[in-house]
Amino acid sequence: MALPAGEQVAPRECDRNGTAMAAVGGGVSIRKVSKVYDPEGARVVALYECSVEIAPGEFVALVGPSGCGKSTLLNILAGFDTLTSGEIYLNGKLLASVNRPLQPGPDRVVVFQHGALFPWKTVLENVMYGPLRQKAMTAEEAEKKAIDLLQRCGGLDRVATSYPTELSSGMQRRVEIIRALMNEPQVLLLDEPFRAMDTVSKTTMHQHLLEMYRMSRRTIVFITHDLEEAIYLADTAIVMTTRPGTVKKTLAVNLPRPRIPEMMSSREYLDLKRQAAEGVHEEARKAFERGEREQA
Ligand code: ADP
């Protein structure tokens, strides 16, 4: 679970026999990170002294009302944006600070809400793209690994020669996650990847993602405004405050893995959902009241 700065826990993921598996994802330490946007002097404080500790191989969901800074934090982690103050460490090494702007890198890969597959490339070519571009693998190695990952992620090797537009949106999203995993990132950053999906497709995607998580043992930071999704998927659900965003509540999700949909009616799950909902609604109310005041 997310812990006070400096502490780490052993990953809780187990294999199908219940044996603990070593995480291959990185530990992330976000320390008092603030972000001020200043478009033409408007000064929007998006994040204020936000601190989160993520253990290697942990699945963390960030939840909060719209505009609370979730994407800002994810973009900073990805290296798409700079921070105004604070520091971010990966496996104990300084990754980003004011004096050390972070660049995007294959150790932190983002999967966005809106698909980003190359439509002119086949599924296989899309999946092989990252390591080939970085010259991290030969074409032969990349193809072997891509086929293996596609096959293990729900038999997607059968669509290896298809083009993205020939696939359902759920399949496209799975291919994107596989493409991200090809880079063997320390951290997989998922920005509301299932937002546009209907409930049934979302439920299917959750099972696929959980299987990919079990298989890859990467650290995952998952952004969502869907509390049920956050609790069902994560080891730790972090409820953020309204802007300026910081941690309001940290909920350790002690539901066993593998997660199954029946768990959503368990007392533990419902209790966590209630706690998360209280936090989010309180913050949404504050945001609403502030909006009213600003308009008055
Ligand atoms: P969330 O992902 O939780 O919906 P965001 O991180 O997108 O929230 O945004 C947090 C706040 O920062 C919002 O008030 C948003 O309007 C503001 N913001 C985000 N990006 C920019 C930007 N590039 N310039 C100015 N303000 C921004």
Q: Which residue, judged by its Cα, is nearest atom 23 of ligand 1?
A: 37
Q: Which residue, judged by its Cα, is nearest atom 21 of ligand 1?
A: 37
Residues 174 and 214 in one domain: no
Residues 164 and 275 in one domain: no
Residues 296 and 215 in one domain: yes
Please give the pLDDT value at position 21.
54
Probe target for ligand 1 pocket from 37, 63, 114, 192, with the most ligand atoms within 8 Å of CB = 37
Probe target for ligand 1 pocket from 71, 82, 222, 294, with the most ligand atoms within 8 Å of CB = 71
Cis bond before residue 258 (omega within 30° of 0): yes
Please give the pLDDT value at position 55.
97
Q: Using the 8-state DSSP alphabet, how is residue 82 labeled?
A: -
Residues 289 and 163 in one domain: no
Atom of ligand 1 nearest to the CA of 42: 25
Residues 91 and 166 in one domain: no
Please give the pLDDT value at position 293.
65
Using alpha carbons, select from 165, 162, 222 the residue that is nearest to residue 192.
Answer: 222
Residues 4 and 102 in one domain: yes
Residues 175 and 210 in one domain: no
Atom of ligand 1 nearest to the CA of 37: 25
Query: pLDDT digit string (tens) for 23-55?
Result: 789 999 999 999 999 877 889 999 999 999 999
Using alpha carbons, select from 281, 284, 271 the residue that is nearest to residue 231.
Answer: 271
Which residues of the chain are under the pLDDT cut of 50?
A: 1-20
Cis bond before residue 101 (omega within 30° of 0): no
Separation of alpha carbons 104 and 76, rounded Å: 9
Q: Can you give the CATH number for the domain in which 226 is found?
A: 3.40.50.300
Residues 128 and 214 in one domain: no
Strand order in the sheet with 247-252: 108-111, 187-191, 219-224, 59-63, 236-240, 247-252
Residues 30 and 96 in one domain: yes
**Domain boundary at 154, 184, 214, which?**
184
**Structural domain of 154:** 110-184
Residues 162 and 68 in one domain: no
Helices and strands (H, E) in the chain, number of each type: 7, 10
Backbone angles phi, psi at 159, to 5 degrees: -110, 20
Residues 163 and 144 in one domain: yes
**Domain total for the chain?**
2
**Domain boundary at 165, 184, 203, which?**
184
Please give the pLDDT value at position 17.
42
User: Taking the mean position of all CA atoms in its chain, how far away is CA 64?
Assistant: 14
Please give the pLDDT value at position 103.
84
**CB of 69 shorter than 6 A to ligand 1:** yes
CA of 67 to the centre of ligand 1 (A): 6
Residues 280 and 134 in one domain: no
**Domain boundary at 184, 208, 232, which?**
184
Please give the pLDDT value at position 295.
56
Q: Using the 8-state DSSP alphabet, how is residue 121 labeled?
A: S
